[in-house]
Amino acid sequence: MSRPIARVLTLLELLQVGDVRTVAELADRLGVDERTVRRYADHLVDLDVPVESVRGRYGGYRLAPGYRMPPLMLSDDEALAVLLGLVAGRRTGLTTAAGTAGETAAAKIRRVLPARLGRRLDAVLGSLAFTAPSGEEAAPKAAVLLPVADAVRHHRPVSIRYTAADGRRSERTLHPYGLVAHSGRWYVTGADPAIGEDRTFRLDRITDARPLPGSFEPPEGPGPAERVLTGLATAPYRHEVVLRVQGTAEQIRSRLPAALAVVTEPPAGESAGADPGHWCRVELRAERLDWLPAVLASLDLPFAVERPDELRDLVAGFAERLMRSARREP
């Protein structure tokens, strides 16, 4: 395929994404000047592709609404990227489609590929292994995800019907800040104006989402991902654990990630006696404490338990078991 024809098709692909694309943006993406972009657009019009010219400061080109694109054409790299994305999304919990939608989409793409490329992709997918996701997969419904995402983008309130973990149902208004995919689950974080606090909700527990009139201004501060991880780490559980660990926040988060614990660095200049390190404050919530001694031991850093006292006894018992094992003869 000659370079001009390839660039004309690339222009068509850029326009089919939607919205108005400026001439300057298209020229940059295609690696040509703006005059050449206009000539390529004229080529598409000659091929009966309804390319519309939009005037004004932010004018450019767009496709006419409702235009249906010609049959799918993918290069080897594009086909591999699409199929790997579908397979990885399904196996890691990032897919948003329920049931077999991901599988049927992959099958449709496979049917339009040349036999040669299909066999090569089958070889890749057949030899590819995925590690198990860290949590239970819970894909949201597209009918929920799409209106919530639109509300996030345009800073609009949204009404949601939510079922909590204990089965309680409620309907509330949310000012959504952002969407976050974490450990096989999708979350939306935002402000609940009825209680004046930030909240985080699992999308798979939302049964209905409807946009509301009006708008809001997102707050300054942490981004959606940090808000969700902090919310998970501070969710109410049976035990509230507070530790002091001598080391850097990076060292501590290698075993206690942000979704599990909140790590607070000491004020600048504060030290821990003669040791060049410093002591970080670590807070986490847990339903059970029996797994914590092994995790703390794996840090290989000095630590002190502020609370609860029960954790001190568990750490001491764990240390005694390790000592007995170390002294035991084969």
What CATH number did the domain enclosing 281 receive?
3.30.70
Work out the average pLDDT over 283-296: 87
Domain hosting residue 85, numbered range: 76-127
Q: What angle do CA 231, 96, 149 make, to 5 degrees?
A: 60
**214, 153: one domain:** yes
Radius of gyration for the alpha carbons in the chain, expressed in angstroms and rounded:
27
* pLDDT cut 70: percent of the chain above it: 79
Q: How confident is the model at residue 92 (pLDDT cuts 50, 70, 90)?
A: low
Is residue 109 one of the residues assigned to a domain? yes
Q: How many domains does the chain have?
A: 4
Cβ contacts of 301 within 8 Å, gap of 6 or more: 245, 246, 247, 251, 252
Do 317 and 276 share a domain, yes or no? yes
170 within domain boundaries: yes
Domain shared by 57 and 84, yes or no: no
Task: From 161, 194, 221, give the residue that closes a domain.
Answer: 221
- pLDDT band at residue 272 using 50, 70 and 90 as cut-offs: very low
Burial of 41-61, coded b for 16+ CB within 10 Å and e otherwise, reads: bebbeeeebebeeeeeeeebb
User: What are the tens digits of pLDDT across the range 126-144?
Assistant: 666 655 555 555 667 778 8
Question: Pick the residue with more confidence: 78 or 236?
Answer: 78
* 207 and 245 part of one domain: no
DSSP, collapsed to helix, strand or coil, labels residue 249 as helix
203 and 175, same domain (yes or no): yes
> How confident is residue 159, by pLDDT bands cut at 50, 70 and 90?
very high
Q: Which residues, including other chains, have CB under 8 Å from residue 9's CB and lie 6 or more apart?
A: 1, 73
Checking if the pLDDT of 278 tops 90, the result is: no
- Span 213-227, mean pLDDT? 81
Beta bridge partners of 112: none
Amino acid letter, 146: L
Q: Does 233 map to a domain?
A: no
Same domain, 250 and 317: yes
CA dist 7 to 53, 209, 287, Å? 18, 41, 58
Look at residue 227 and tell me if it is in a domain: no
Q: Domain of 28: which CATH number?
A: 1.10.10.10
204 and 146 together in one domain: yes
Mean of the pLDDT values across residues 270-283? 66
Question: What average pLDDT score do residues 189-208 get?
Answer: 86
Residue 87 belongs to some domain of the structure: yes
Q: What is the DSSP string of 275-311?
A: BSS-EEEEEEEES--TTHHHHHHHHTS-EEEEE-HHH
Position 234 in a domain: no
With CA atoms as reference, report the closest residue to 230 among 270, 192, 200: 200
Query: Does some domain include residue 226?
Result: no
Query: What per-residue confidence (pLDDT) applies to 90?
Result: 65
User: What mean pLDDT comes out for the span 4-9?
Assistant: 79
Statement: residue 200 has pLDDT above 90:
no
Q: How many angstroms separate the CA atoms of 152 and 184, rounded?
A: 21
pTM above 0.85, yes or no: no
- Indicate whether 250 pLDDT > 60: yes
Per the domain annotation, does 230 fall within a domain?
A: no
